[in-house]
Amino acid sequence: MSCCVKALSASSTCPNALTASQTIGFNFFNGSAVVGQFTAPTSGLYSITVTTSGSPPSSVTVSINNVPLIDFTNFPATGSFGANAGDSIVVSMSWWPLYFGGTVNVTICPPLPPPSPQPLPSKTPLLLVVGLLAIAGVALALYPVLRSSSP
């Protein structure tokens, strides 16, 4: 069995995308292998795309905390699943007897982080202008009274 697991790495298809691939050579017996695994960085809805080259496997399974959630059997395939921050996400493949070998490529797109709150504009300049106008108005109103009472 020829086998090589590539570590998850960033991809340009979506921000913070994770990719993994697994290549299996000819196998006389059926079997399975992990394509990739990672810890969910954030809670939310994840999207997954699975493509193959060579002979497609019999299935690709997405498991969260060792519980299978999605089982793909036709390729290319796309889907989505929910995960919480810290969950273990494992993508595995299985094949039938006399598997001629092939490669499975997986791209997982984590949910986008919520936008950071923008600070509200400061009301200090507005309050300063209103305060100065109020002082000017009071001064103009009192000016005739103050002028007539001076000696």
In this predicted structure, the answer to whether residue 9 has a pLDDT above a threshold of 50 is no
Radius of gyration of the chain (CA): 32
Query: Which pLDDT tens digit goes with each residue over 76-99?
Result: 999 999 999 999 999 999 999 988
Mark whether 70 and 129 lie in a shared domain.
no
Q: If you search the block for the tokens 């069995």, which residue do you land on? A: 1
Residue 130: domain span: 122-151
What's the rounded mean pLDDT across residues 50-75? 95
What's the rounded mean pLDDT across residues 50-59? 93
| E runs forming strands in 14-115 | 17-24, 31-39, 44-54, 59-64, 67-72, 77-83, 88-95, 102-109
Mark whether 75 and 8 lie in a shared domain.
yes
In the DSSP assignment, the letter for residue 8 is: P
Paired residues of 43 in beta bridges: none
Assess if residue 80 is contained within a domain. Answer: yes
> Higher confidence at residue 68 or residue 112?
68
Look at strands 67-72 and 31-39 and give their pairing.
unpaired
Mark whether 44 and 92 lie in a shared domain.
yes
Assess if residue 68 is contained within a domain. Answer: yes
